[in-house]
Structures are given as C-alpha cells and as structure tokens.
Amino acid sequence: MNSPLAVPPGAVTTAAPASAIAPNAAELNELNRAFHADGYIVLRGFAPPQVCDRIEQVTRAQLAAAVPPVEYEAELGYPGAPASRDAAGGGTVRRLRQAYGRDEVFRQWASDPTLTEVVATLLGEAPRLTLAHHNCVMTKHPHYGSQTGWHRDTRYWSFASPELVTVWLALGREDETNGVLRVIPGSHRVALEPGQLDAAEFLIESHPASQALLGGVRPLGLERGDVLFFDSRLFHSAGQNASAAVKLSAAFAYFGASNHPLPGTRSAEFGSVELPAPAAR
Ligand SMILES: O=C(O)CCC(=O)C(=O)O
C-alpha cells in the first residue's frame, strides 16, 4: 500500500549536491574501519547550516500541520507516551513518515553525493535508499515524547542481508536533557542468547547476558549538523525529552545494490531509490 507521498519504486534522483564536507580517501578508509569495529561513526558538522535550516523549516511547517503520513506517540505506546489519541498529548507526533516524498530538501539531503559516498564506502558498494524504513523525521517532544528501549533497527526489516546503514542527522543539539541516542559499541556483531529479547524485540535488560552489553553504553551527544552513521544492527536506545524544545532528527536507511528487500514483506512495499556508485578517486 503506497503512501500518497511516496515516490515511484526504483526512481532515480537528480538532486543537486547539498555540499556536505567531503572526507578524503584516507579519512574514508579510517571511517570505514571505525564503522565496522564499533558499528557507528559520527561526522561532526557534516550537514551545512543552510541544509539544516531548510530541512528544519520544512519539518516545522509540516509538523505544525501534522501533514500525513505521521506516526503518533500514542500509536506505539512506548514508556512515557500518551495512553491514547484522546488522552492529553494524544496528538503528539513521533515521526513525519515518508520524508523523501515530502519535499525536495529531503530528497537532496538523502541523495547528497557526499553523504552517499560515505554510505557506499561503509557498504562496500553502490547504495540504495529504502523508502520503507526510517525515511522520516524523528521528533522527541517535551512531556509526551516517549522512551525507546534497546533495539536493533533491523528487528522488523526483511532483507536478503541485514547489512544496512542508518543515517541520522541532528537538526539541533542532542544531549542527556532531551533524549540523546545511546549506543552499545560493537553490539552490531553480538550474537544474542535465546530469551534475550522480548516479544517486540527489545533487549531484556535484566537478562544475565545483557549485563556485559549494558556495561558498554555510550551516549552520543550531537550538535546541529552532526551526522551519525550506524550499522542498523547496532543496539541503541533513547530517553525522554526533559527540555522545553522539541528535538528533531532526520533518519534515512540504505542497503547495498547486491542486497534487496524480501518480496512480499513490508520492506519491499515502498520501493527504493538507486544512487550512484562512488566516484573513483
Ligand atoms: O529517539 C528515539 O526515541 C529513538 C528512535 C529510534 O531509535 C527508532 O525509532 O528506531
């Protein structure tokens, strides 16, 4: 079932560069090494201020009008979420979904050649943007923004190979006061014991085998324009927002050209966007 905001499956983008700061070949090599060792990298100030400004402007306008398709906090019912759509705060949006179809600013950012070159390096091949997962602006509102338990993004994703990269752009400061993302370095490669996940595939923190994992938690403080690239199998979580301002982050996910969503699954529903292979250096 395609959203009215979705773009046709297999569409090729013609976006102009968003002028992100390009790492050189040696830096890309080091980023690739760190990514595979830790499961994530952070590129500070990777998205230029004017890109953040344009994305934020469109996001705030669409958030204010709750332009569909959106996901409401009350729909998920995570800890801290309003009990129902009729409860106080029931209209709190958690995600502006299908961001790629919403506005050119999202298309330009998600297909920015500098960004996709980093993703291609991490995947080892030309990337494709999935329109089925993430492809959204994540919001974390004061009061009604919920807490997200430890999970792997791939928990409900169905691809031939689980190797995907999530790209998270901070549109403002993200810290312990407003629901910073926390990660467990190296957890993308950890095999879990039976019973370590609950029915919704969140990590059961009280499980004995979870203790070593939880001993390595690292909060990833971000500033506006910082971009976090993480292996979609990396365990991460986030708290609530105790500040007075909404936290906004754009999130997209990519898979390699030799990978594919499994036919008939939700991962295949919305199509994908082919992106160019990285230029030879
Ligand atoms: O900001 C949060 O609550 C985390 C969101 C997240 O990790 C997710 O929805 O996959």
| Of 239 and 3, the one with more pLDDT | 239
Q: What is the pLDDT of residue 276?
A: 75
Confidence of residue 281 (pLDDT cuts 50, 70, 90): low
153 CA closest ligand 1 atom index? 10
Q: For residue 165, report the phi and psi dihedrals to the nearest 5 degrees.
A: -120, 125
Ligand 1: list residues with CB < 6 Å: 138, 140, 148, 153, 179, 236, 238
Calculate how far, in angstroms, residue 136's C-alpha sits from the geometric centre of ligand 1.
11
The maximal CA–CA distance of the chain, rounded, in angstroms, is: 56
**Shortest CA distance to 43 belongs to which of 152, 169, 153, 172?**
169
Residue 1 reports pLDDT greater than 80? no
Stretch 139-165: mean pLDDT, rounded?
96
The answer to whether 155 touches 201, Cβ cutoff 8 Å, is: yes
Question: pLDDT by residue (tens digit) across 199-222?
Answer: 999 999 999 999 999 999 999 999
Quote the pLDDT of residue 11. 36
Give the burial class of 119: count Cβ atoms within 10 A of its Cβ; 0-12 exposed, 13-18 middle, 19 or more buried: buried
Whole-number Å distance, alpha carbon 279 to ligand 1 midpoint, is 32
Q: What is the pLDDT of residue 8?
A: 36
Q: Looking at residue 2, what is its pLDDT?
A: 30
Residue nearest to atom 5 of ligand 1 (CA): 148
Q: What is the pTM of this model?
A: 0.92
How far away, in angstroms, is 134 Cα from ligand 1 center? Answer: 10
Helix (H, G, I), strand (E, B) or coil at 94: strand
Tokens of 266: 């939700």
How many helices and strands, by DSSP H and E, does the chain display? 6, 13
Distance (Å, whole) CA 227 – CA 31: 13
In the chain the domains, ranked by start, together with CATH numbers, are 35-183+219-268 (2.60.120.620)
77: confidence class by pLDDT, cuts 50, 70, 90: confident
The atom of ligand 1 lying closest to the CA of 140 is 1
Residue pair 144/83 in contact by the 8 Å Cβ criterion: no
3-state secondary structure of 267: helix
Residue to mutate (ligand 1; options 181, 203, 230; most atoms within 8 A of CB): 181
Q: Judge whether residue 20 has pLDDT over 80.
A: no
Contact 237, 187 (CB under 8 A): no
Segment holding 54, helix H or strand E: helix 49-64
Atom of ligand 1 nearest to the CA of 249: 1
pLDDT over 90 at 39, yes or no: yes
**Sheet containing 181-183: order of strands:** 148-151, 236-238, 181-183, 218-219
Q: What integer pLDDT is reported at residue 151 of this predicted model? A: 98
Mean pLDDT, the chain, rounded, equals 92
Best residue among 75, 76, 148 to mutate for probing ligand 1's pocket (most ligand atoms within 8 Å of CB) is: 148
